[in-house]
A = this chain, B = another copy of it.
């Protein structure tokens, strides 16, 4: 398997594009994205568990209930959530696109991201539909990735090439963060495409299995969004024998999917709102996988740990504290903690108590952009990894006045 360029256009038969249609006031920021497959594709998606659900998610769920879809339309600048006519607007977006592309409205996946609770005007979307459809091309992944960005500071695209049954397959995705990120069962907006041939059932199985260890282990701010969604379209153009069961081909597909989603997780976490650092917390030696995950996520979510990392302060007591209140069954007296970056690795806590360490070395390690927090529970054989970011002045700034 190798990493390649191309994002959602890396897979055969997919094209994409993005335009500014006028949902956002800033005319230099694209706000409407489109991804199209030249043939109908197997489709799978996972959604937020927030009881307040964006209208586009309800519509998408209905549309892909038959296991297939052919296009994705997604706007930024407005979440189309908590609006009286949200469903109607999301259906109109599907209908207008389907009409222009000559496909069924029920083969459209719809996404929206932005402010909650402000009616989404269909006019700019309707007026921009011709331009949007004209914008798609085989190199358009970047424009689509741009068009779904909100407070993101970098475009998020990843793709891989892999082989199944002698056939070259491709799988790529685009994602947006970067606040209200604390997925639970599903997450933020991620659109993935592949030319691998796989049945809708196995595609859903692959996605549902994957996110438990990838997107569901990311947190920027503990706030689970209303509009989180990850979808995958698989159009089968790679020509491999269709994957219909949990065999070696399925495992190879899972590996490709996991490579892309894990890379997107790291980009998402590192570009969390206001973030200056990517935090990766690796927990080893837990009695169960659930314990390992709970501990890793508790640390990544701790405001105090996040702020300490922003200040490059080796305040490992914050880490121990977060482990202690996580609710996980651990033996505190067995815990070892290290901080690590490209500058080195330092032991700061042994058997649940502090050890002498060089504050200077620790500072040097923690001043890097990517920090690993390594926790050894020394209590079993299960591991987990979670991704997050530091808590910064800019997070407060961005969210102190998000709407204006």
Contacts and interface: CB of A to CB of B under 8 A. Distances in A.
Nearest to A179: B304
A307 B399 contact: yes
A116 B400 contact: no
A401 to B, nearest CB: 4
Interface in A329-343: 330, 332
Contacts of A393: 393, 396-397
Given A303-B399, A313-B403, 13 more contacts: A48-B325, A51-B323, A82-B352, A117-B349, A222-B301, A223-B321, A224-B324, A224-B325, A304-B399, A311-B399, A313-B401, A315-B403, A391-B396
Interface residues of A, number: 64
Contacts of A184: 325
Given A222-B222, A311-B399, A399-B304, A52 B117 contact: no
Contacts of A50: 321, 324-325
Contacts of A397: 393
Nearest to A402: B315
Contacts of A301: 222
A396 B316 CA distance: 17
Nearest to A302: B223
B303 A222 contact: yes
Contact of A82 (B317, B398, B403): B317
Given A50-B324, A397-B393, A304 B180 contact: yes
A150 interface: no
Given A117-B316, A223-B322, A396 B401 contact: no
A332 B117 contact: no
The quantity of this chain's copies bound in the complex is: 2
B223 A317 contact: no
Interface in A141-198: 179-180, 182, 184
Contact of A52 (B82, B323, B401): B323
A199 B400 CA distance: 49
A118 B320 CA distance: 13
Interface in A179-227: 179-180, 182, 184, 221-226
A137 interface: no
Contact of A117 (B48, B116, B354, B395): B354
Interface string A294-307: 00000001111001
Contacts of A396: 307, 310, 391-393, 395-396
Contacts of A223: 302-304, 318, 321-322, 325
A28 interface: no
Nearest to A325: B224
Nearest to A316: B117
- List 7 tightest A-B contacts by C-beta distance, closest first: A116-B317, A311-B400, A52-B324, A307-B399, A224-B325, A117-B354, A50-B324
Which of A49, A180, A310, A398 has the most chain B CB atoms inside 10 A of its CB?
Answer: A180
Nearest to A118: B354
